[in-house]
A and B are shown apart, each in its own frame.
Chain A
Amino acid sequence: MSGFKTSIRRIVAAPGYHIHPKHDLKALRKRLHGGKHKGHLGDLPLTSMIDMFSMLCIFLLMNFASTGEVFFISKNLKLPEASHSRPIESNPLITITPTTVTLDAQNVGNRNISMEERSGDMEQLRRALARIKAQQEQERPDKPFKGNVNIQADENTPILHIKRVMNSLISEGWTGINFAVRLDEKAQQATERIEE
């Protein structure tokens, strides 16, 4: 009888640690789950993570710029560098490659105009520019038409293609031509040091 009772007690006994891998880390298990000296091994060290976040935040805030975000630069287009440029404004953007001329203008009569010109006479480009000009004059009849436009082109594009577009712009009354460039920070800093 006593042997039966003992066997029942064995069945309902609380299960202990029963997974026994080949290399059981007993010491680690003890430190994690109990004993008199309960360690802090399970806590994630957050201080170093917050240090890293702080430095990252400071770096990103220092590089934060509210201008120049309006441009889509294709991967194969490398803008020329300049060190005495000024911040670019949001104007219709003309992208020039040796084969195509692309115009992107935003908010022209509550819509965006985007076209691609492949012919040499720039007829399609001229029509789009005339349409944008008319729209701007209609929206602001009391202000004179400024005719500001941004041009971006790869640094190795022959000047002939730039001149062709510039002639089309001038003939349509777009005389404020801005050449988009990459800011050469090293040259700019060197110039500032010399001036100081």
Chain B
Amino acid sequence: MARRQMHADLNLVPFIDLFSTLICFLLMTAVWNQIEALSTNVESVTSSDSPAPPDPNKVNLTVTIMRDRIEMAENETAYKFAIINDKLPLDKVIRGLEVWREKYPARKDVILNTENEIPYKYMIATFDTLVGNGWSDVGVNTQ
């Protein structure tokens, strides 16, 4: 007696239902813009606060962005890097930060000054460079 041949087809309709639902959900909740943040913590300057006296021996490390150059300064000593064709000299800034790292291995704080007319992206690009090279405590000067 010949055995009856069986055709066991997989029922694909539930798969399609599941995938359709999942794809709709994922498309609706998808985040196409990856938004993140660069943080700065500014000390409060309200009148009730009594500011701590500045340490006279502490070297102030500042990076100043101007329209035509970036200046890196330790107290009075400053290094100037020209901005050519709207391109920030960030590679030179990185080399300067490496020099600072050798001189001040424990330091993580640096003050970022900016001229009022420069675009916001310059500040963020410099801020990002500082954070990326181990200077995580970046204070933005608002004066």
A residues at B contact (CB < 8 Å): 46-47, 49-50, 53-54, 56-57, 60-61, 63-65, 67-69, 71, 73, 79-89, 147, 150, 153-160, 162-163, 166-167, 169-171, 173, 175-183, 185, 191
Among all A-B residue pairs, the 5 with the closest Cβ atoms: A85-B36, A60-B26, A53-B19, A155-B121, A84-B132
Query: In the complex, A150 Cα to B115 Cα: how many Å?
Result: 22
Q: Say whether B140 contacts A166, CB under 8 Å.
A: yes
How many chain B residues have a CB neighbour from A under 8 Å? Answer: 45
Q: B8 contacts the other chain (Cβ, under 8 Å)?
A: no
Which A residues are in CB contact (< 8 Å) with B20? 53
Which B residues are in CB contact (< 8 Å) with A167? 142
Which A residues are in CB contact (< 8 Å) with B44? 147, 170, 173, 175
Query: In the complex, A67 Cα to B120 Cα: how many Å?
Result: 24
Query: Which residue on B lies nearest to A146, using beta carbons?
Result: B41
Could you write out 9 A-B pairs with CB less than 8 Å apart?
Answer: A49-B16, A57-B23, A60-B23, A60-B27, A64-B26, A73-B35, A85-B38, A183-B35, A185-B34
Q: Say whether A178 contacts B120, CB under 8 Å.
A: no
Q: What's the minimum C-beta distance from B37 to chain A, rounded to whole angstroms?
A: 4
Which A residues are in CB contact (< 8 Å) with B26? 57, 60-61, 64
Query: Which residue on B lies nearest to A161, using beta carbons?
Result: B120
Which B residues are in CB contact (< 8 Å) with A154? 120
Select which of A171, A176, A179, A185 is within 8 A of B124 by beta carbon: A179
